[in-house]
Structure 1
Amino acid sequence: MSTHEIIITRPLPGDPAGRLRQAGFTRLWINPADERLSPEQFREVVNSAHGVRAIITTPVDRVDGPLLDAAGGGLVIVSNYAVGVDNIDLAECQRRSVIVGHTPDAVTEPTADIAWLLLLGAARRAWEGVDLIRTAGRTDGTAWKGVAPCELNGTRVLGKTLFIVGAGRIGLATARRALGWNMRILYHARSRHAEFEASPVNAQRVTLEEGLQLADFVSLHTPLTNETRHLINAQRLALMKPEAILINTARGAVVDEAALVEALRTRTIAAAGLDVYEHEPKVHPGLLALPNVFLLPHLGSATREDREWMMRLAVDNAVAALRGKPVPHRVA
């Protein structure tokens, strides 16, 4: 009978096993394949561990009542390798006195970088440009013919209005990057955030509807909750300027993807830049078919340095909980 004290659902950057062993924890199970576990596989792994005390999860691992049943009463912590915890039933964990940890600081700066990569790429039609340059050398008449005055003219960024939806760490980091483009910054949050309104950001707090109507660029940074699911729907997309661009590095389901496809198809808005999708890893076929959307495969935190930092945070959360010490980055 195998006994694993700690389960890691997928290989992580760096050396999580070494870090755990150095802390005195040696009974580990780490998924040998770099593939997501199905819900059935996840429950089977947890059930067969016979006494699991900590599970280090990724955002695709659903932690719900049946999974917690499989883990048994000895589970102390679910340490999520992500800042978002919408894959975890927090109420059920709280009911069972299971701690939930996450990795907030490590994802902030790289995700803000990706938001700006998407913003610039969508504004300057980089997606279409890559497709065009790859035609160079064709002999069927479709090859790129060199620079042309009317070809792939995009949108100027300098001096425009950026609307940040969600006033957390990533939203603030994204707003700070706008200073180099001399942008007017608006933000929407449930309460005032002094760090947004203070110099040098000098952002103005507005309602969601006001911001959507005023902005040239809308960047989403809100967590996924019951209240924010489909926050950006057909009605709110219709409030945006025809030349506006929507950026999403938050969670895919914050946007009604079908409504977004229609808004892009009809040019209700000019373009979008997306790093997250409503039904990952599936992507709406309409998005794949449209030229005016810049798509990335959920790269938000994907730098070597930051992904290893996330590993250290996730491991350290688990170690602290198992030692009965305060968890550095605790959600619930």
Structure 2
Amino acid sequence: MKIVADENIPLVNEFFSRLGEVTRLPGRNMTPADIRDADALIVRSVTRVNEALLAGSKVKFVGTCTIGVDHLEQAYLDSNNIGWSSAPGCNANSVVEYVYAALAHLDINWLPVKFGIIGCGNVGGLLYQRLKAQGVNVRCYDPNLTAAQNPDLTSLEDVLSCDVISMHTPLVMDGLHPSFHLLSHTELNQLKPGAVLINAGRGAVIDNQALLEVLSARTDLRVVLDVWEPEPDISLELLDKVLLGSPHIAGYSYDGKLNGTEIVYQALCKHIGTQPQASLAELVAPLANNQLRVDDETKSVFEIAQSLIQQVYDIVADDARLRDTARKALAGEINFGEGFDHLRKHYPKRREFHNYQVHFESVSDSDKQWLQVLGFRCV
């Protein structure tokens, strides 16, 4: 079996070489010639998998190591009997931790606020569960769910009136509930003064030109963008106006990417009728040097959470690298789109909160439980 895979997929050789010959290539630049003789194609979200790419190839299975599938032409795959699989939920925890890290850096205590979530699937649903477990007042908009599935469902207008709004919708272009440009001028101008808007779903769910115009007129809004319209050639003017910007890496924790690799590996094994011979448990050793510290246990639980999060995930560094790339592009030193992809390809290894342990002397059991909701192991 010949397998072509995105070179940015971690442990791709360790997993897939057990099934055949693996060729690793840059995902955004894959061509029909690259995959003509491949039996399986393993990608991430930067590869458009459609008839133009697959026509004339031997590919009989496509796996994307991502939650989203809007980059796959599913109708074409189905009509041509090409099996396909995604990795639902693989990096949901990574994206949720990105949201918490953004709020911690911006010094926004999420406990007393009215918190809105747009899109409550794998990612938004996990964020919803954690916020509720921490006692937060959460309102959700997701027309694909029922009140039985989520008792805090409400209208889009109600969610837009919240203090913090976090977006986790897939990109849907048609049907009953399209999400393309779900937020444009009208919706963005409904945001309350000082509102925080986070998009870690799909860039085109927000009309980026409209967002630029609204931010040019309203300096009170606080915006965090991990996803953009379009990528990789994003608006540098818009980057200049958001408080935190990153190159579509919210779901790029090492743990999340590993989960995606394993899920798609298992799907390919099932597709070809063989038992999996590799697992993360055998390939990945526990994290060493995983002890965290709290200098002052008399601080509020939110302040303790800030300290722990910042020890694990330096979200400011993500923002700084993207802005430095923009500076070099404006100076004519590099091509920004190539720089954007370079940041994704060489993203530092970020481990999730559950890999870390914290020893407390005087923190209450209730506060420990609250911190454990974030994922930290508290003893």
Q: What residue is the counterpart of 1:79 in the other structure? A: 63
Question: Residue by residue, what CA displacement relative to the aligned partner does 1:265-292 show, whole Å, maximum 9, x if unpaired?
Answer: 21175111111111112221222222x4
Q: What residue is the counterpart of 2:182 in the other structure? A: 231
Amino acid at match of 1:186: R
Unpaired runs of at least 5, structure 2: 276-379
Q: Residues 56 and 315 of structure 1 are in contact (CA less than 8 Å); yes or no, is this contact kept in structure 2?
A: no
Alignment partners' CA distance in 2, 1:177 and 1:299: 21
Q: What residue is the counterpart of 2:273 in the other structure? A: 323
Match of 1:258 among 209, 227, 246: 209
Pairing 1:108-127 to 2, within 5 Å after superposition: 108-121=92-105, 123-124=106-107
Q: What residue is the counterpart of 1:159 in the other structure? A: 112
Aligned length: 270
Q: Residues 215 and 244 of structure 1 are in contact (CA less than 8 Å); yes or no, is this contact kept in structure 2?
A: yes
Q: Residues 89 and 123 of structure 2 are in contact (CA less than 8 Å); yes or no, is this contact kept in structure 1?
A: no
Alignment partners' CA distance in 2, 1:180 and 1:75: 45
Q: Is residue 306 of structure 1 aligned with residue 256 of structure 2? A: yes
Q: Residues 62 and 88 of structure 1 are in contact (CA less than 8 Å); yes or no, is this contact kept in structure 2?
A: yes
Q: Residues 103 and 109 of structure 2 are in contact (CA less than 8 Å); yes or no, is this contact kept in structure 1?
A: no
Q: What residue is the counterpart of 2:337 in the other structure? A: none
Alignment partners' CA distance in 2, 1:207 and 1:245: 18
Alignment partners' CA distance in 2, 1:182 and 1:270: 25
Secondary structure of the corresponding residue to residue 91 of structure 2 = helix
- State the shift of 1:193 in Å: 5.0
Amino acid at match of 1:288: L
Alignment partners' CA distance in 2, 1:249 and 1:265: 22
Cα distance change of structure 1 residues 280 and 105 upon mapping to structure 2, 3 Å threshold: same
Match of 1:218 among 165, 171, 175: 165
Alignment partners' CA distance in 2, 1:324 and 1:244: 51
Pairing 1:141-220 to 2, within 5 Å after superposition: 157-179=110-132, 182-190=135-143, 191-192=145-146, 194-197=148-151, 204-212=152-160, 214-220=161-167
Alignment partners' CA distance in 1, 2:8 and 2:216: 39
Q: What residue is the counterpart of 2:39 in the other structure? A: 53
Alignment partners' CA distance in 2, 1:298 and 1:314: 21
Secondary structure of the corresponding residue to residue 106 of structure 1 = coil
Alignment partners' CA distance in 2, 1:162 and 1:269: 18
Q: Is residue 285 of structure 1 aligned with residue 236 of structure 2? A: yes
Q: What residue is the counterpart of 1:28 in the other structure? A: 22
Alignment partners' CA distance in 2, 1:250 and 1:84: 9
Q: What residue is the counterpart of 2:72 in the other structure? A: 88
TM-score, structure 2 normalization:
0.66
Alignment partners' CA distance in 2, 1:324 and 1:193: 41
More RCO (CA 8 Å, sep 6+) = 1
TM-score, structure 1 normalization:
0.75
Match of 2:14 among 11, 14, 18: 18
Q: What residue is the counterpart of 1:132 in the other structure? A: none
Question: Residue by residue, what CA displacement relative to the aligned partner does 1:90-111 show, whole Å, maximum 9, x if unpaired?
Answer: 1111111212211113211111
- State the shift of 1:262 in Å: 1.6
Cα distance change of structure 1 residues 163 and 42 upon mapping to structure 2, 3 Å threshold: same
Percent identity between the aligned chains? 23
Q: Residues 46 and 70 of structure 1 are in contact (CA less than 8 Å); yes or no, is this contact kept in structure 2?
A: no
Cα distance change of structure 1 residues 258 and 119 upon mapping to structure 2, 3 Å threshold: farther
- State the shift of 1:246 in Å: 0.9
Q: Is residue 63 of structure 1 aligned with residue 14 of structure 2? A: no
